[in-house]
C-alpha cells in the first residue's frame, strides 16, 4: 500500500512538457539597427497566439555587432534561441539551419529587415490550420524599387509558376508558413529558400496565399540587386530539373543526345550521298565537320544520362532516402 502511494506521488511530480506549436526562423546578416525593433514587433504578436512558441535567430556571420544584440534578446526572453554560423554562408543555408533545429509543428520564416510584418503571422497560422502544407505571403503593395527588385521578381514568379504548376504570385516573399514535415523534408542548396513551394511540390503539397503587409526598409541596405537576375534564371533551370528529371536524368540527357546525334547522322548520310552520287568533295564542307561533332555530342549526352541514372540510384540506395513522401499512415 505504501509502495503504491510512493509511486503515485512520484508520477504526480513528473512534468509534462507542452509541445512547441510554432517556430519562427529568422536569418540575420548585418541587421544591428533592426534587431531591437524586430524583437518588439515579435513580442507584440507571439504571446497572443496562446500556444508555446520559439524563435530561432540565425546570425549568418554578421560583422556589425548583430550578435551582441541577439544575446541581449536571449537574456530577456529564453524563447529566443540563437544559432551563430561561423561565416556568412547565405540566407538559404541559414534558413536550413533554422529548419534543422526547429521543434515547432508549424515553422514560419521572415526577414530581419523589418519589411515583413509579424502582425501577419496569425493570418498565416489560420490558413495552416485549414489544412494547407504551405502558406505563402503575397506582398500586394510591395515597397521596393521597380527596376532592380519588382521587375525581375515578376518575371521569375511567372516563369516558376508556368514551369512547376505551383501558381504563387510572390515566391520572393520570405514570410511563409510551413508544416514541420514539409520544411524538414526539403533539402536546400544555393538560393532555393525562396522557391520551397516549387521544390516541395514533388511531395504533393497543398499551397495557399495570404496578402501581407510590406514596409520600406528603414535601416541598413538591401543585400539584393539587379545582379541577382542571373542567379534567379539559374535557380529556375535547377528547379525545373529537380522536379522533372532528378529521378530520371536519362530522359533529359538522353533526349537531347538523341536529337543532337540524330541530326548529325542525317547530315552525315546526306553528305555521303552527295559524295558517292554527285562527286561532291567533303574536305571543304564545314557541314561535314559539324555533323561528326554533333554525333559525338549526342553520344556524350546519352553517356552522361546513363551515368546520372547510376549516380541517382546509388544515392538513393546508400542514403536510404525514399523516392516518395508519405502524408499520413492509418493503421
Residues 294 and 308 in one domain: yes
**Which residues span the domain enclosing 218?**
22-244
Report the SS3 class of residue 56.
Answer: strand
* The CA-based dihedral angle spanning residues 182, 183, 189, 195, taken in that order and rounded to the nearest 10 degrees: 70
Centre a 10 Å sphere on the Cβ of residue 230 and count the other Cβ atoms it contains: 10
Q: Is residue 222 part of a domain?
A: yes
> In the chain, helix, strand, coil percent, each to 5?
55, 10, 35
The one-character DSSP state at 85 is -
User: Do 309 and 283 share a structural domain?
Assistant: yes
34, 69: one domain: yes
- Do the domain assignments include residue 194? yes
Residues 162 and 178 in one domain: yes
| Residue 325 included in any domain | no
The residues of the chain scoring below 50 in pLDDT are 1, 6-12
What is the model's pLDDT at position 211? 94
Assess whether 240 and 256 both reside in one domain.
Answer: no
Residue 162 is assigned to a structural domain of this protein = yes
Kindly state whether residues 38 and 179 are assigned to the same domain: yes
275 in the same domain as 134: no
Evaluate whether 172 touches 153 at the Cβ level (below 8 Å): yes
Q: What domain count does the chain have?
A: 2
Q: Are residues 36 and 122 in the same domain?
A: yes
pTM, full prediction: 0.76
Verify that 92 and 147 share a domain, yes or no.
Answer: yes
Answer whether residue 74 is part of any domain.
Answer: yes
Spatial strand order in the sheet of 134-138 = 80-84, 53-59, 22-28, 106-109, 176-179, 134-138, 207-211
CATH number of the domain encompassing residue 174: 3.90.550.10
Answer yes or no: is 14 within a domain: no
State which of 227, 244, 261 marks the end of a domain: 244
pLDDT of res. 324: 58
Q: Does residue 4 form part of some domain?
A: no
Amino acid at each position: 500500500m505504501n509502495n503504491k502511494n510512493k509511486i503515485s506521488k512520484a508520477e504526480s511530480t513528473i512534468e509534462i512538457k507542452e509541445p512547441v506549436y510554432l517556430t519562427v526562423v529568422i536569418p540575420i546578416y548585418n541587421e544591428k539597427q533592426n534587431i531591437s525593433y524586430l524583437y518588439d514587433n515579435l513580442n507584440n504578436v507571439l504571446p497572443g497566439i496562446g500556444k508555446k512558441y520559439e524563435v530561432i535567430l540565425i546570425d549568418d556571420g554578421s560583422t556589425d555587432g548583430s550578435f551582441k544584440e541577439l544575446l541581449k534578446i536571449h537574456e530577456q526572453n529564453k524563447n529566443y534561441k540563437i544559432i551563430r554560423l561561423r561565416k556568412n554562408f547565405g540566407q538559404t543555408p541559414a534558413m536550413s539551419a533554422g529548419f534543422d533545429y526547429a521543434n515547432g509543428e508549424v515553422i514560419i520564416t521572415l526577414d530581419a529587415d523589418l519589411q515583413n510584418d509579424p502582425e501577419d503571422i496569425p493570418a498565416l497560422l489560420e490558413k495552416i490550420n485549414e489544412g494547407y502544407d504551405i502558406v505563402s505571403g503575397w506582398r500586394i503593395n510591395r515597397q521596393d524599387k521597380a527596376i532592380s527588385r519588382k521587375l525581375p521578381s515578376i518575371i521569375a514568379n511567372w516563369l516558376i509558376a508556368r514551369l512547376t504548376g505551383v501558381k504563387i504570385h510572390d515566391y520572393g516573399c520570405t514570410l511563409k508558413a510551413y508544416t514541420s514535415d514539409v520544411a524538414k523534408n526539403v533539402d536546400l542548396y544555393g538560393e532555393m529558400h525562396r522557391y520551397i513551394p516549387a521544390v516541395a511540390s514533388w511531395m504533393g503539397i497543398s499551397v495557399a496565399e495570404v496578402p501581407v503587409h510590406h514596409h520600406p526598409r528603414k535601416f541598413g541596405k538591401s543585400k539584393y540587386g539587379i545582379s541577382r537576375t542571373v542567379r534567379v534564371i539559374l535557380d529556375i533551370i535547377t528547379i525545373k530539373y529537380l522536379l522533372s528529371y532528378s529521378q530520371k536524368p536519362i530522359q533529359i540527357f538522353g533526349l537531347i543526345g538523341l536529337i543532337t546525334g540524330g541530326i548529325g547522322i542525317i547530315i552525315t548520310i546526306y553528305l555521303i550521298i552527295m559524295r558517292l552520287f554527285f562527286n561532291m568533295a567533303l574536305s571543304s564542307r564545314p557541314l561535314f565537320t559539324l555533323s561528326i561533332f554533333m554525333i559525338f555530342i549526342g553520344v556524350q549526352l546519352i553517356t552522361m544520362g546513363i551515368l546520372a541514372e547510376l549516380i541517382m540510384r546509388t544515392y538513393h540506395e546508400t542514403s536510404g532516402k525514399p523516392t516518395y513522401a508519405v502524408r499520413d499512415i492509418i493503421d
